[in-house]
A and B are shown apart, each in its own frame.
Chain A
């Protein structure tokens, strides 16, 4: 009897060993974001204990290094089983148009994701109705951060529109605040530009810009560039030397009044700076974008020719599941892309963002790769730099239009 049991056990071991697969996940989540990824991997291992997970992380902010490594691997014919990319055009404009990704329509259908992910989001990650990636988390880009106590001392309220912002800025300058707005290095200026554009053109105008219906050379866009120039006149002069964290610090110490930054700033304020939401720091939607949620998301896709396709599909299923998103996001400081997530696990800021996620109009962020391909975003930095030093709205708009034509956004 004992022998038979042993034999059965041995058999079970061998069968599970032969079924044991491998899965290589490629991401740039290291450091602060490492634990969040670990939580996902743990969840995956609980479901598929026999699979050997190879966590191929290439560190470096926003994936600059990881993307270069990924290119080498993809061109060399050894793609990872599943890799991280910013959801939307960054993946579509780079890998999907080159015909190197698998269409995930059937996965979305079998998992019922069409219903749990907001429609606007599914539209952003699809071309011709075919979704290409599974969004794991969502960040909001159009948030204006401020220091409530300081605003009270200065006697100003949070501006609701950009013209109002410029007036508030003049008031603050009158009270001796040299730079009412703080910006940092180039990408944070692009980040600000995006909020000014959406606040001026409206969500629909912004969408038209990226579908090619509205040209960058349109007088309305030129006007928005002019507004951006006036907003930049409120900003600090040493911008290009500051990281986004250093810029956020100036809100806390009261050197500046406002900062437009993504909601990873909430994590920085609460975790690193130990501030309480609504007391140590306050937030509002960027001027003119109250009912709009400008989103960016990290997502995973399935490259053609992945060695362990079945395991990769299981991995994607875990990523899109409620359990997966609720394990990952509270640790990462983002919110779930699904609308049915368990809000009790999130902090004060994230709860308010999650409520907006369900009710607001959702549009994609340019600087974080949701609406524009890499070729546009990367070259656009030079346009912003030139504009900030020359303040030539007409010229900047014309340059952006040329870029859009080259990137295939506009005709």
Chain B
């Protein structure tokens, strides 16, 4: 009776409460939110806060509204902003964190002090960081006064209030763009597979690419999501928020990288030196490859922070600034200010899917390696 040993019973007894709690309060509520996002709760103000509201099932209407509805241009801009924010935030944190870690790895004087200083911003909450940086990025604020130190007139860059954006594209062309990008990626895959001599792979990838590109050329241009062109791009006002976010989180990546660097055995470096590697070669061929798993886990952590970011933006640019807004902020305003609970739940669900895109591949790879080891 291996199945009912004392240990097993104990472990089941100990685990059951948390399994039940997680089932109800995490997965149950996720299911409830997804259900609410497919109803019309809140579209009629009279029903939104009534004692026994009449809620009707409307399928994917809320999602359709978010992606193609005339009024939801703000949400679409936020999606684009989130993508740019995530990209620059992760790149900034990884770059700065790695740089600081490499410097500290050379054992400078007062290393412990520097480590504390660089790691310190992480102990603040985003709302504090946001408030400090909002002061510094005001039109007459600290950052714009820096140039006066060198005798130049103060800079006039509108850090948080700029309404200009770059890299604009028409939302109507989004299906076309997506299909083209995926098509090109598939072609690259097909060419690679052909070089490696994998026939089925080449054929499948090639056929998919042809199908997608054909669609993009023939049907894509005629497809209109919106009646009028709608341009979205990278708003310059986001730069200020990215700077603050990088300032806050790069200490964390530094700590991760520093731990990684210290974990590389001295023998490896010595062996590389004996083999005649110079500094650059050693980093390129020995150290950076060993840091790759750290980069991955840092990207996962930073990625989901940046997708869910709310408090930093709220503190720095305020809730009503469309140019710097993010989906989480819109979700809060839609649900709790406009009382449109269904639409808010739909935005929440989209955020969940975005986070899942980041987390799920990571989790599966973790499980695989664990199984491989066991």
- Complex formed: what's the CA distance from A237 to B237 in Å? 13
Contact across chains for B228 and A385 when beta carbons are under 8 A apart: no
The smallest C-beta distance from A411 to any residue of chain B, in angstroms, reads: 14
The smallest C-beta distance from A178 to any residue of chain B, in angstroms, reads: 12
Instruction: Flag whether B253 is at the interface (Cβ < 8 A).
Output: no
- Complex formed: what's the CA distance from A372 to B322 in Å? 21
Chain B hits for A237, CB < 8 A: 158
Instruction: Flag whether B353 is at the interface (Cβ < 8 A).
Output: no
Given A374-B337, A382-B322, A385-B322, A75-B45 contact (CB < 8 Å): no
Given A71-B336, A186-B321, A238-B73 contact (CB < 8 Å): no
Instruction: Flag whether A373 is at the interface (Cβ < 8 A).
Output: yes
Interface residues of A in 235-262 (CB under 8 A from B): 237-242
- Complex formed: what's the CA distance from A187 to B319 in Å? 11
Instruction: Flag whether A98 is at the interface (Cβ < 8 A).
Output: yes
Chain B hits for A186, CB < 8 A: 318, 320-322
Interface residues of A in 359-377 (CB under 8 A from B): 373-375
Instruction: Flag whether B70 is at the interface (Cβ < 8 A).
Output: yes
Indicate which residue in B50, B163, B333 contacts A240 across the interface (CB closer than 8 Å): B163
The smallest C-beta distance from B317 to any residue of chain A, in angstroms, reads: 8
Chain B hits for A408, CB < 8 A: 44-46
Indicate which residue in B45, B139, B320 contacts A407 across the interface (CB closer than 8 Å): B45
Chain A hits for B43, CB < 8 A: 406
Instruction: Flag whether B284 is at the interface (Cβ < 8 A).
Output: no
Instruction: Flag whether B308 is at the interface (Cβ < 8 A).
Output: no
Chain A hits for B237, CB < 8 A: 240
Contact across chains for B163 and A382 when beta carbons are under 8 A apart: no
Chain B interface size range: 35 or more
Contact across chains for B45 and A373 when beta carbons are under 8 A apart: yes
Contact across chains for B161 and A239 when beta carbons are under 8 A apart: yes
Contact across chains for A75 and B44 when beta carbons are under 8 A apart: no
Chain B hits for A94, CB < 8 A: 45, 48-49, 339
- Complex formed: what's the CA distance from A408 to B320 in Å? 23
Indicate which residue in B50, B74, B160, B322 contacts A241 across the interface (CB closer than 8 Å): B160
Contact with B along A72-112 (1 / 0, CB 8 A): 00110000000000000000011101111000000000000
- Complex formed: what's the CA distance from A95 to B321 in Å? 27
Contact across chains for B322 and A381 when beta carbons are under 8 A apart: yes
Instruction: Flag whether B145 is at the interface (Cβ < 8 A).
Output: no
Contact across chains for B45 and A375 when beta carbons are under 8 A apart: yes
Given A94-B49, A382-B73, A408-B45, A241-B138 contact (CB < 8 Å): yes
- Complex formed: what's the CA distance from A406 to B333 in Å? 16
Contact across chains for B337 and A240 when beta carbons are under 8 A apart: no
Chain B hits for A238, CB < 8 A: 139, 158, 161
- Complex formed: what's the CA distance from A188 to B139 in Å? 18
Contact across chains for A185 and B318 when beta carbons are under 8 A apart: yes
Contact with B along A162-188 (1 / 0, CB 8 A): 000000000000000000000001110
Indicate which residue in A74, A93, A187, A403 contacts B320 across the interface (CB closer than 8 Å): A187
The smallest C-beta distance from B336 to any residue of chain A, in angstroms, reads: 5
Chain A hits for B48, CB < 8 A: 94, 98, 375
Chain A hits for B337, CB < 8 A: 64, 67, 374, 378
- Complex formed: what's the CA distance from A64 to B333 in Å? 10
- Complex formed: what's the CA distance from A240 to B339 in Å? 25
Indicate which residue in B50, B74, B161, B340 contacts A98 across the interface (CB closer than 8 Å): B50
Interface residues of B in 102-119 (CB under 8 A from A): none
Interface residues of A in 370-411 (CB under 8 A from B): 373-375, 378-379, 381-383, 385-386, 388-389, 395, 398-399, 402-403, 406-408
Instruction: Flag whether B71 is at the interface (Cβ < 8 A).
Output: yes
Contact with B along A185-209 (1 / 0, CB 8 A): 1110000000000000000000000
Contact across chains for B323 and A385 when beta carbons are under 8 A apart: yes
Contact across chains for A99 and B50 when beta carbons are under 8 A apart: yes
- Complex formed: what's the CA distance from A242 to B140 in Å? 11
Instruction: Flag whether A19 is at the interface (Cβ < 8 A).
Output: no
Chain B hits for A93, CB < 8 A: 45
- Complex formed: what's the CA distance from A181 to B48 in Å? 39
Given A373-B45, A378-B337, A240-B71 contact (CB < 8 Å): no
Chain A residue, CB-CB nearest to B46: A97
Counting chain B CB atoms within 10 Å of each CB, the highest count among A237, A382, A388, A398 belongs to A382
Chain B hits for A187, CB < 8 A: 320
Instruction: Flag whether A6 is at the interface (Cβ < 8 A).
Output: no
Indicate which residue in A99, A374, A399 contacts B339 across the interface (CB closer than 8 Å): A374
- Complex formed: what's the CA distance from A386 to B43 in Å? 23
- Complex formed: what's the CA distance from A239 to B160 in Å? 10
Instruction: Flag whether A1 is at the interface (Cβ < 8 A).
Output: no
Instruction: Flag whether B51 is at the interface (Cβ < 8 A).
Output: yes
- Complex formed: what's the CA distance from A374 to B323 in Å? 22
Chain A hits for B318, CB < 8 A: 185-186, 240
Chain A hits for B317, CB < 8 A: 240
Contact across chains for B46 and A98 when beta carbons are under 8 A apart: yes
Contact with A along B271-308 (1 / 0, CB 8 A): 00000000000000000000000000000000000000
The smallest C-beta distance from B167 to any residue of chain A, in angstroms, reads: 16
The smallest C-beta distance from A97 to any residue of chain B, in angstroms, reads: 4
Chain B residue, CB-CB nearest to A187: B320
- Complex formed: what's the CA distance from A95 to B46 in Å? 8
- Complex formed: what's the CA distance from A406 to B71 in Å? 10
- Complex formed: what's the CA distance from A382 to B42 in Å? 19
Contact with A along B56-96 (1 / 0, CB 8 A): 00000000000000110110000000000000000000000
Contact with A along B316-360 (1 / 0, CB 8 A): 011111110000000001001111100000000000000000000
Instruction: Flag whether A4 is at the interface (Cβ < 8 A).
Output: no
Chain B hits for A5, CB < 8 A: none
Instruction: Flag whether A279 is at the interface (Cβ < 8 A).
Output: no
Contact with A along B27-65 (1 / 0, CB 8 A): 000000000000000111111111100000000000000
Chain A hits for B138, CB < 8 A: 241
Chain A hits for B320, CB < 8 A: 185-187, 381, 385
Contact across chains for B333 and A99 when beta carbons are under 8 A apart: no
The smallest C-beta distance from B310 to any residue of chain A, in angstroms, reads: 14
- Complex formed: what's the CA distance from A97 to B48 in Å? 9
Contact across chains for A240 and B323 when beta carbons are under 8 A apart: yes
Contact across chains for B49 and A71 when beta carbons are under 8 A apart: yes
Contact across chains for A378 and B333 when beta carbons are under 8 A apart: yes
Known: A71-B339, A378-B338. 12 other contacts (CB 8 A): A68-B336, A71-B336, A94-B48, A99-B51, A100-B49, A240-B321, A241-B138, A374-B337, A385-B323, A386-B73, A389-B163, A406-B71
- Chain A residues with a Cβ under 8 A of chain B: 64, 67-68, 71, 74-75, 93-95, 97-100, 185-187, 237-242, 373-375, 378-379, 381-383, 385-386, 388-389, 395, 398-399, 402-403, 406-408
Enumerate the 8 nearest inter-chain pairs by beta-carbon distance, A residue then B residue, closest first.
A241-B161, A186-B320, A385-B322, A98-B49, A97-B46, A240-B161, A382-B74, A98-B50
Q: List 22 A-B contacts (CB under 8 A).
A: A67-B337, A68-B336, A93-B45, A94-B45, A94-B49, A98-B45, A99-B51, A100-B49, A240-B163, A241-B138, A373-B45, A375-B42, A375-B340, A379-B71, A381-B322, A382-B71, A382-B74, A385-B74, A389-B163, A395-B228, A406-B71, A407-B45
